[in-house]
Structure formats: structure tokens, C-alpha cells
Amino acid sequence: MRGGEVQNLALVRHLARRGNEAILVAREGSALYEQAKSEGLQTVAWRPCGELDFLAALRLRRLMKSSGARIAHAHTAHALTLALLARFGLAGVRVVASRRVSFPLRSPFSLLKYRSADAVVAVSEIVREGLLKEGLDPAKVHLIPSGVDLARFRDLPSRQEARINLGLPEEAKVVGVVGALVSHKGHSVLIEALGRLAPMIPDLILVLAGEGPLRDELGQEAEARGLHARLLGYVEEPAPLYPAMDLLVLPSLSGEGSPGAIKEAAAAGVPVVTTDVGGAGEIFRNEKEALVVPAGNAEALGRAVHKMLTERAFAEDLAASARERVKLFGIEAMAEAHMALYRSL
């Protein structure tokens, strides 16, 4: 379950609670499918072989007709292609696409399919601006930031309990990252920055929550720089991890839409350092709710981490402000905004 799946599941839950018939179509055996099914939500399993799988689109079309669906909401780029194929010739079915990343559209075909949607949800202003620059109709592009379920952070373990659970020393300075171990997340830049700080902060520990193809490589990089790192792998529910952290860092290089990890950390009362990528700088403002630094700059990232770890009163003031601001990004607000969009269509 990555950010997009978390948002998709939260939206389906909310629609069901509000008495709407919401059917989640997801890849059979995926974490999203299994979780939704376990919660008793309406789920349909499918196994599309790429975005031009006409049999998968035909099956989706049949489901649209049999259920009387009025809205088909595609939460990934490939799903959008299938939704558009499925609704071809069906009167009264509107297609909504979510765009969660700030990467440019990759081809004329990508641009065509986003233009063909009846509405596109951009999860941050920078994503919205990017879509408008690509030539999408401004009337079709709607800004709805991703939400965080604040209820998950109301009953967290204490700092001591969280550290005992993770086997972390009480006196350590713990810097955490929550996210997939892939190149654009910028873990290597953070490891470089922390490697420079390690001689000045000998009890420094880096905790990485997430899985991905760079797991072994990042572990080796940390070891080569004399940095103590704990790689936790995939964590289904990261909320109890946050109290163990002195600082949450989002070192991403590109691609972020409305990053959830910094919102979660703020909801847990943990100070945040983030690179200025995607919508991160829209969520938290530099030196008001977080420290925001240029992407890919290990020196600037290291200075920000050092300041937050050594000037604790300053860090705690930012964390308190972030905890208030993150209330603007609750899951209920996200879901209600989607319902309003659906009604408008």
C-alpha cells in the first residue's frame, strides 16, 4: 500500500459510510484489494495485462452497465486508459482521473487520455499547474489535496514505548524516512548528508520504513559512510513508528504530489524537514511549520537536519504549528471534496 492506494481506500470507505454504492476494482491479490475485501467493502478483482487490455476494459464496461455506475474514477494513469475504453459509447458515465505525481505527462497519448477525462483531480497546486501547462482545460482540473486520517494519530505509544518496540536506544537521535526505497525518493542524498553529521552526532540513527529495489544498496551506502541505519521493510501501519523519531525527513528529488509522510509526521507531533518538491512546500511553509530545502542538495539537507536535532525548542515550535496546519488536510475534507465533484458531474 503506497500513498495512492491509501487515498483510494479512504475514499471508498467514506463513500460507503455516506450511503453511496462504491465498487472498488483492483488487481486481485494486491494489498489494496485484500484490505478492502477484509473490511467488507464492495470489491471486484481483475488482472489487466497493461493499459490496452481490451478484455479487461470489456469486463469493466459490463460492470458499469450492470451496476448502473454514473462515475468511473481512475486512480492511476493505466486505469484511466481502461476506464475510457470501457465507457466508450455509454451515455451518462463520467470519467474522473486522479493525478498524484508532479512528473510531466510522458507522451501525446498520455495527454490525449487526460484531456478525454471529464474531470482531473490534481493533488497539489504544482500538479495542477503542470497539467495546465500541458494544455488541459482549466475548467476540468480540480485541486483536491490528498488527506490524512487524523484519527490514526490520537492514541499513539509514548516515545519510550515506540523506541522499545523498535529496539532503539532511549538516548539516540533518530531520523526517520517513510517511503518506498526507489531512486526519486532521494534516500542516497540523505545518507550522504547524515554521513557528514555522524561525527558530530555520534548517537545518530537513520530509520527507513519502506521496501523497494534499492534496499540492499542503501544499506551498503549507510555502512560505507559509518552511519547506523535500521531498514524496517514494508510497514503496514506506520503511525506507531513516528513517536520514536526525533525528526521525519522527506528527501525526495522529484515526483511528489501531496506527500503523505510529512502530514502523518505532523499529525503525530514529529518535526519535519522536507525538500521543496511537488506539493511539499504547499503543505508546510519554510520556518513556519517545517524546514524546506532544495532537492538534491546534501549540504542544505544536512544543515536543516542538524538545526532540528540540536535546537529542540525551535523544532518543537515548528512541529506544533504543523500539527495545527495538518488539520486542513484531513481525510474527511478530501472525501467530501470528491463527493462534491461527483455531484457536479
pLDDT per residue as tens digits for the range 278-288: 888 889 999 99
Q: What is the SS3 string spanning the chain?
A: CCHHHHHHHHHHHHHHHCCCCCCEEEECCCHHHHHHHHCCCCEEEECCCCCCCHHHHHHHHHHHHHHCCCEEEECCHHHHHHHHHHHCCCCCCEEEEEECCCCCCCCHHHHHHHHHCCEEEECCHHHHHHHHHCCCCHHHEEECCCCECHHHHCCCCCHHHHHHHHCCCCCCEEEEEECCCCHHHCHHHHHHHHHHHCCCCCCEEEEEEECCCCHHHHHHHHHHCCCEEEEEECCCCCHHHHHHCCEEEECCCCCCCCCHHHHHHHHCCCCEEEECCCCHHHHCCECCCEEEECCCCHHHHHHHHHHHHHCHHHHHHHHHHHHHHHHHHEHHHHHHHHHHHHHHC
- Can you give the pLDDT at residue 316? 97
> Would you give per-residue pLDDT tens digits along the chain (345 residues)?
788 898 999 999 999 999 999 999 999 999 999 999 999 999 999 999 999 999 999 999 999 999 999 999 999 999 999 999 999 989 899 999 999 988 888 899 999 999 999 999 999 888 999 999 999 999 999 999 999 889 899 999 999 999 999 999 999 999 999 999 999 999 999 999 999 999 999 899 999 999 999 999 999 999 999 999 999 999 989 999 999 999 999 999 987 888 889 999 999 999 999 999 888 888 999 999 999 999 999 999 999 999 999 999 999 999 999 999 999 998 899 999 999 999 999
Task: Tell me the torsion sign for CA atoms 61, 66, 72, 78.
Answer: negative
Q: Which residues contact 39 (CB under 8 A, 6 or more apart)?
A: 13
Q: Dihedrals φ, ψ of 202, to 5°?
A: -65, -20
> Which pLDDT value is given to residue 38?
95
Query: pLDDT, tens digit, for every residue of 66-90?
Result: 999 999 999 999 999 999 999 998 9
One-letter amino acid of 91: A
* Burial bucket for residue 139 (CB in 10 Å: 0-12, 13-18, 19+): exposed
CA 185 from chain centre, in angstroms, equals: 11
CA distance 175 to 250: 10
Tell me if 254 sits within 8 A of 103, measured CB to CB. yes
pLDDT for 256 equals 83
The pLDDT > 90 percentage for the chain reads 86
Q: Are 70 and 92 in contact (CB under 8 A)?
A: yes
In sequence order, which residues have a C-beta less than 8 Å from that of residue 154 and are 6 or more positions away?
Answer: none
Its pTM stands at: 0.80
The residues, ordered by sequence, that sit 6+ positions from 114 with a Cβ below 8 Å of its Cβ are: 80, 97, 99, 105, 120, 131, 134, 136
Strand partners, 138: none
Domains of the chain: 3-147+330-344 (3.40.50.2000), 152-328 (3.40.50.2000)
**pLDDT of amino acid 279:** 84
CA distance 110 to 325: 34
Contact 104, 254 (CB under 8 A): no
> Can you name the residues that pair with 43 across neighbouring β-strands?
24
